[in-house]
Amino acid sequence: MIYKSYIIEHTIENVKNNILLFYGENLGLKNDLKNKIKNNNKKALIRNLNQEEILIDVNKFFNDLFNSSLFEDTKIFFINQANDKILDLIKEIEEKENTQKIFLFSGLLDKKSKLRNYFEKSNKLGIVPCYGDNEISLRKIIISKLKGYKGLSSQNLNMIIENCGLDRSKLNNELNKIDTFFENKVIDTNKLEALLNIKVNDSFDLLKDQALLGDKTKTNKLISDTILENDKNIFYLNVLNQRLMKLLEVNKIAKDQNLDDAINEIKPPIFWKDKAIFDLQARKWSENKLKKILDQTYEIELKIKSNSQITHNLLIKKLLVDTCCLANAS
């Protein structure tokens, strides 16, 4: 049985399936769901396990799963890094009378995945795709978590969203910082900018913008001068992807009206500081070129997530060079 993640977020306590699989690239969403499960079952014993340690000693896992005394609290099992290797074990659990809740967490599972296919076709099991967030979903999270705060303007909302690069985990960290710092629940724009350390990410933003403008001289210089931190590669991709999706959106709207009106119509609106450069970029990029570079961005993301041996910074830099070249292509 397939569930929508946005529905599960609000109704997970009502799900009847004893075994549920969460898969996809949205680590922040999966962590949020874990926390909701914990909060809804505060008296339960939480077993937080990795797939490999279970498969090493299946009997030990089964003893813990099926042998409970009357005096023990309910158990909840989190199985992390799940993939096709655990499918036989899941089938065996189904054959037994399991009353405990089991939640599996996986990364990307393609359509050929045996585990994914088995869960999707089952009426007894539940599966939840956890795809990446967009600006609208993150905006809802911010508004919900900062309910009651003054100064949560469109400018400040955009600042928070852009600083997170569509990364929910990073967003949650930033919201915790905001909640701690602004004890009076009044958000000041200058203090927010300092708190979020906006200037630290300015160098990549500048590099991204020059690449999208097709300025080869500035792009090459910035690629040489900019230090890309290895643990932020997905963040960099998300920042670039976010801008590409905005350009694609305005490109489609501009088919029926002039570009200036199309830019003003975008929801959520373009961050005010970026409007001028966004206008120049929009005049450079056609729908076909945007789709081409978006495909390349997605391929690089898969390479980064699936192969830890790759020098990820080189992939990001090559992507930016290719972006710069494509911006000038006819």
Residues 33 and 118 in one domain: yes
Q: Is the pLDDT of residue 69 over 70?
A: no
Please, what is the Cα angle at 298 between 240 and 143, to 5 degrees?
55
Question: Comparing 8 with 198, which gets the higher pLDDT?
Answer: 8
Residue 65 sits in a domain whose CATH number is: 3.40.50.300
Q: Is the pLDDT of residue 118 over 80?
A: yes
Residues 15 and 110 in one domain: yes
Q: How many domains does the chain have?
A: 3
- What pLDDT is stored for residue 71 in this prediction? 65
**Quick one: tokens of 45?**
């014993």
Q: 330, 320, 327: which is closest to 219 by C-alpha?
A: 320
- What pLDDT is stored for residue 198 in this prediction? 67
pLDDT tens-place string over residues 271-296: 677 889 999 999 999 999 999 999 99
Residues 178 and 221 in one domain: no
Pairwise CA distance, residues 85 & 112, whole Å: 14
Do residues 281 and 212 touch, judged by C-beta distance below 8 A?
A: yes
Residues 119 and 182 in one domain: no
- What pLDDT is stored for residue 188 in this prediction? 93
pLDDT tens-place string over residues 9-52: 889 888 889 999 999 988 899 999 999 999 999 889 999 999 99
3-class secondary-structure state, position 126: strand
25-35 in b/e burial notation, b at 16+ Cβ within 10 A?
A: bbbbbbebbbe
Q: How many CA atoms lie within 13 A of 212 on its CB side?
A: 28
Residues 212 and 298 in one domain: yes
Residues 225 and 315 in one domain: yes
Domain of 187? 135-196
Q: Is the pLDDT of residue 70 over 80?
A: no
Domain boundary among 196, 211, 235: 196
Element (H, E) at 128: strand 126-129
Q: Is the pLDDT of residue 203 over 90?
A: no
Cα 168 from chain centroid (whole Å): 5
Cα 277 from chain centroid (whole Å): 26
Residue 247 sits in a domain whose CATH number is: 1.20.272.10
User: pLDDT confidence of 201, banded at 50, 70, 90?
Assistant: low
Number of neighbours of residue 247 by Cβ within 10 angstroms: 22
pLDDT tens-place string over residues 230-283: 777 888 898 899 899 999 989 988 988 889 888 888 876 776 778 899 999 999
Record the pTM: 0.64
Domain boundary among 155, 171, 196: 196
Residues 205 and 318 in one domain: yes
- Residue position matching structure tokens 């023990």: 72
Domain boundary among 99, 129, 159: 129
Residues 150 and 77 in one domain: no
Residues 96 and 139 in one domain: no
Pairwise CA distance, residues 193 & 189, whole Å: 6
Length of the chain measured in residues: 330
Element (H, E) at 273: none
Residues 189 and 239 in one domain: no
Pairwise CA distance, residues 101 & 78, whole Å: 9
